[in-house]
Structure 1
Amino acid sequence: MKNILKVMLVLFTVTAASSSFAQKKVKIKISGFVKDSLNRPIEDCVIFIDNKKQNKQTNRKGYYSLKLRKTPKVITFYAPNYGLTEVDYNNSRNIDVTFNKMSSKLKVKFAALNKEEKENPNRFRYANIYAYLRGRVSGVQVFPNNTIIIRGTSSLLGSSEPLFVLNNAVISKNNIESINPSDIKSVRVLKGSEASLYGVRGAAGVIKITTY
């Protein structure tokens, strides 16, 4: 009897562990077709899940496919030439969208999204932080080996690389590599008297990065 109980306990433990592992691996898949009122596909439609922008957009035929880690509440579709439309998630794996005339509520939200895009309209085009700094930030030189310098600065500590500040906290050069360009709200370059706030550490200049 004891042996039977031990076997049952082992089986229960293995089953529970397998179920827990399977739950962690589960992803919600959503796909669909986005079109206008004339049934024409809308290309490059931006998709927001619970107001968070996703990396994927609709293809040239208007189709999209997403894999999500958790169940969404609202899915928002934004196309610059058509506006914005929202869909409440109803556990469906296929969600097709047709752009019609926007309501006044969506016009307000559209204006807010459009304003956010103007702050940094190209941030989704860069593969990493180095490409972003090289292509977007004036006064900063990024070499092929990812060495970064601010033009017109010199360091008392023997290092030509600037000090990096992320959301008002000083970070190391290695830590900036983990910053996703799509998360960047703004980048400000400080040198001279502006960088003196950081003492000798800012002698080679300061790069202040603010994220959303």
Structure 2
Amino acid sequence: MKLKLGIIGLLVCLAFTNIQGQEAILTGKVITFKGYPVANATISASKSKQTTTTDSLGYYSISCRAKKDNIKVKVAGFVGQNFRYRGEKEHAVNLIYIHNESSYYKVIKNKIMTKENLDYCIENLLYENNNFDRMANIYQIIQFVHTTAKVETVNGTKQVFLTSRGPSSISSGQQALIVVDGIVTDDINSVSPKQVKSVEVLIGNEAAEYGVRAANGVVKINLKDN
């Protein structure tokens, strides 16, 4: 009996040691505009169930249960990122800024960046940071910038829907207004990601300058100068 208990205890101890051996500490830094620290970003690991936040300089440290843990990075005003932990000791993340009035307010209010740094980055580094060259098409870029956007084919043409209702009633014209370099258009299939300088989604008061046409939001696409 004592021998059996001893074996069981040894197995439990080995199992615990094995689990502990699978744990590792991942450190890193969350930045934006390819150099500016992002404070108060939430970092979570799905397998270890650990969560932490970045400090004022953008640094974080989190326990990962095993290799291939799924790490999520989230913070107001920026597009979140997921990546796989593969045993590395450090991992840096550069976040894409969501360029609109709401994001600007959240970033400053939550002390994610200082107003001075954010203003400078928007003025000088926005287009360099928000590089869309690797996207498959213009619609993927729109959904990257505005994660709840829906793309549906209506009468043979792809349309973008920003409202929560989506394209539930085609006849009511619920699609967003698309503006490319200041010109309203219905077809953006020919727009290549390599041409895109910036994409901005305007909803509600932000879209007021476009009048009643903007009732379902506006997608502003600015192209690079060739």
TM-score range, shorter chain: 0.3 to 0.5
TM-score when normalising by structure 1: 0.38
Larger Rg: 1
TM-score when normalising by structure 2: 0.36
